[in-house]
Amino acid sequence: MSKNHVMKMSRLYAPTLKEDPAEAELASHKLMLRAGMIRKQAAGLYSYLPLAWRSLKKIEQIVREEMDAAGAQEMLLPILTDAELWRESGRWNAYGPELMRVTDRHGREFALGPTHEETITDLITNELKSYKQLPVNLYQIQDKFRDEMRPRFGLMRGREFIMKDGYSFNANQESLQETYDAMKDAYARICERCGVRALPVVADSGQIGGDTSVEFMALADAGEAALVYCDDCGFAADEEAATTQVAVTEGSGDGTLEKVHTPGLGTIEAVAAFFGFPENGTRKSLALIAEDGTPVVAIVPGDHELNDCKAEKLFGAYHLMSEEELQEHGLFKGFIGPVNLPQGIRLVVDETLRDSKKWACGANEVDYHYTGACPGRDFTVDEWADLITVREGDPCPHCGAALKGARGIEVSQVFQLGTKYSASMGATFTDEDGKEKPFLMGCYGIGVSRTMAAVIEQHNDEQGIIWPVSVAPYEVSVIALDKKGEAFDEAARIADELAAAGVEVVFDDRAERPGVKFADNDLMGFPYQLVVGKRGLKNGTVEFKDRATGEREDLPLAEAVEKIAAVVADARAQFGA
Ligand code: ATP
Ligand code: MG
């Protein structure tokens, strides 16, 4: 351990707030403001004050160590990126208003880099020439700029934020896969070492079944993404994209088609209750107009929803039928179904219903439903398709165990780009066979500032932040209960000795009441607190508190430094330091 300096709390620039700031909704945003870690300059622009900066530097260091261990090399590209490069790749227009554009005094256009595929591809073009030089994996840690439509939630969605972005250049798919897998492993370790519980969620699948893009989602109620995951086999997916094999219930009865008077029962809930089925035993029919004008009835299990993303893929920019459109097509709200469907309406049914019979469904007549309706016998399905939004409790598509639901914050993403940029920008190398080929590229991004916010989302309580030791601004705070005298002197001595032993120490030397000091230290969330007071010293002890568990222990004064240094070393080791 290297020698550290003691930070005196009386000198620490961390202006705390007593009240929750009205502008903040998320725990991380509130707590960073309250603990004096960040201040807003303008929408989506934040100053990182000393506590935040220390924590960010630790996250960056973890990223560096894991990147370097995986064979990547750190470098730094200019933040300003030439518009010409963006035009070459076709993104000057495609990126839209999120790209922050600037013009220099000569009228030349630039963008503040939101990501650097173009710049890095331009850099290596004409310099990396032979397959013998490959693979190359380069990364940087830098401020990125995106003119987000809705910058919000503090550091979660800023307009200027810190990102680690990395790019690999590979000669062939095997090599790209190798780099990609190594990055994926490194990303998982980075999350672990930062104390972030994250799920690798497949964002894109390749043709041969493996993934070509994975997002690491930090589990948190505040997350923007709805996820499903499987505890048994590790499968995880965005709710929007996940598929499932839901076991659907069939209706009861002997399978005779029967029309039943169901006056006023126009909802799934009412119909299920009336027949005494679970909602899953009924069929939900949605009437819509596809982008090309085709009227469609889409049917899903009664307890599931039509997934908007999947529906858009099938039907284009579709809309649900209005009252007039229903009337025009001879359909009745609440009583739509597959049997006796008016001419010209396309019937598309969810895959999970393929093998089910004896449906309870609308009869296309006001106040009537059918029971015992069977596909093939009573109606013809035009197309079977994956239509539903998967939800908690549905079976895992890989192993069948019940899926769990969670919300997630995207902290990082790995991506196989293939030749997307190298081809459009003419970045080629000479391969083993003497042929000129575009590089295969991968890109790998981590939101460093967003990761800090995610850590706090996952580690806080009523009192404040609870830092994992690996990314805590300081590891231990030594709190003197008196502002002078023996307790103060002993606290100062312990703080010095801990720092000399390599521990990162804050010394709360302020002339404040103990209650104020405890509250501030809890708010700032240092993992360990050491309270030094007259009463304890009389018995030859100091009080050691673990911020995470709240456990307190009296340590003999003479052993305190050694004991605490050991506890800190252990904690660091647990996070892989
Ligand atoms: P999102 O879907 O949340 O907008 P993204 O997929 O556009 O993110 P990437 O281009 O994959 O983001 O960028 C890599 C990482 O940078 C993200 O995983 C995220 O952690 C971080 N990031 C992206 N946009 C922001 C932002 N506006 N503020 C803070 N961090 C961000
Ligand atoms: Mg992303």
pLDDT tens sequence across 135-175: 999 999 999 999 999 999 999 999 999 999 999 999 999 99
pLDDT for 397 equals 83
Does ligand 1 lie within 6 Å of residue 154's CB atom? no
Which position has the higher pLDDT, 122 or 398?
Answer: 122
Does ligand 1 lie within 6 Å of residue 157's CB atom? yes
pLDDT per position as a tens digit, 335-352: 999 999 999 999 999 998
How far does residue 447's CA lie from ligand 1's centre (Å)?
6
Angle at 424 between CA 422 and CA 428, to 5 degrees: 35
Which position has the higher pLDDT, 355 or 183?
Answer: 183
Tell me the residues surrounding ligand 2 (ion) with CB < 5 Å.
413
Does ligand 1 lie within 6 Å of residue 148's CB atom? yes
pLDDT per position as a tens digit, 238-290: 877 776 666 666 666 678 899 999 999 989 999 999 988 888 888 999 999 99
> Mean pLDDT across the stretch 560-575?
97
Q: What is the enclosing helix (H) or strand (E) of 250?
A: none
Is the pLDDT at 1 greater than 50? The verdict is no
Is the pLDDT at 355 greater than 50? The verdict is yes
- Give every CB contact of residue 314 below 8 A, 6+ residues apart in sequence: 290, 348, 385, 387
How far does residue 413's CA lie from ligand 1's centre (Å)?
8
> Mean pLDDT across the stretch 12-19?
95
Angle at 82 between CA 76 and CA 86, to 5 degrees: 105
Which position has the higher pLDDT, 537 or 238?
Answer: 537
- pLDDT, mean over the chain: 94
Residue whose token pair is 């104390």:
195
Percent of the chain having pLDDT more than 90? 85
Distance between CA 280 and CA 226 in Å, rounded? 22
Q: Is 248 helix (H, G, I), strand (E, B) or coil?
A: coil
How far does residue 414's CA lie from ligand 1's centre (Å)?
12
Does ligand 1 lie within 6 Å of residue 158's CB atom? yes
Burial of 96 (0-12, 13-18, 19+ CB in 10 A): exposed
pLDDT per position as a tens digit, 439-456: 999 999 999 999 999 999
Is the pLDDT at 309 greater than 50? The verdict is yes
Percent of the chain having pLDDT more than 70? 97
| Nearest ligand 1 atom, CA 115 | 10
Does ligand 1 lie within 6 Å of residue 517's CB atom? no
Is the pLDDT at 489 greater than 50? The verdict is yes
Proximal ligand: closest to the CA of 113? 1
Are 159 and 151 spatial neighbours (Cβ–Cβ below 8 Å)? yes
Verify cis geometry, omega within 30 degrees of 0, for the bond prior to 97: no
Is the pLDDT at 333 greater than 50? The verdict is yes
> Mean pLDDT across the stretch 77-90?
97
pLDDT per position as a tens digit, 368-393: 999 999 999 999 999 999 999 888 88
- In 10 A of CB 308, how many CB atoms? 11
pLDDT for 3 equals 65
Sign of the Cα torsion 359, 360, 365, 368 reads positive
- Structure pTM? 0.87
Does ligand 1 lie within 6 Å of residue 497's CB atom? no
